[in-house]
Structure 1
Amino acid sequence: MKILGIVLILWGVADFGLSWTGVDVYDSLGIQLPEIIWLYSHFISIALGFGIYQLGDKLQK
């Protein structure tokens, strides 16, 4: 689960960075997000990734 969390965090960082260059990561994959979700998609990905990472860390202990 920790690996999935890291992947989601990296996805969110890439989404944030590429959005500054004008690249819509989701649109290039054929995923149409509503405007309000698209504005915060990188924060959502990072938060979900962090939560999954923390959950995996707690389950490992």
Structure 2
Amino acid sequence: MKIAGIILILIGLLDVIGSHVGFDLWGGFFGIELPDLLWQFSGYIELGAGYLLMKMGSSSDDAAAQTEAE
């Protein structure tokens, strides 16, 4: 889950940076036309979801490491 979160964060960064320089990740690269409201915030949504996945993966890794230590 941690790796999926990191990948989603990287996609989110690419989306946010791309939107500031005129590159449309969803429309130009994936061929998906997002509604305007969703398009404005898609990069931030991806960053948030990636962060949550990464933290969920980290907490499960910590729990497994703690179990092994006992």
Give the Cα–Cα distance (whole angstroms) in 2 for the partners of residues 21 and 60 of structure 1: 37
Instruction: Calculate the TM-score normalised by the size of structure 1.
Output: 0.94
Which consecutive residues of structure 2, in runs of 5 or more, have no partner in the other structure? 63-70
Residue pairs, 1:29-40, within 5 angstroms:
29-40=30-41
Q: Would you say 1:21 and 2:16 are equivalent positions?
A: no
- The one-letter code of the counterpart of 1:47 is G
| Superposition deviation, residue 7 in structure 1 | 0.6
- The one-letter code of the counterpart of 2:18 is L
Runs of 4+ in 1 over 4 A off after TM superposition: none
- The one-letter code of the counterpart of 1:11 is I
Identity of aligned residues (%): 36
Structure with bigger helix share is 2
| Superposition deviation, residue 59 in structure 1 | 1.2
Instruction: Calculate the TM-score normalised by the size of structure 2.
Output: 0.82
Bigger CA radius of gyration: 2
- The one-letter code of the counterpart of 2:32 is I
CA RMSD of aligned residues (A): 0.7
- The one-letter code of the counterpart of 2:25 is V
Q: Figure out how many residues of one structure are paired with residues of the other and give that number.
A: 61
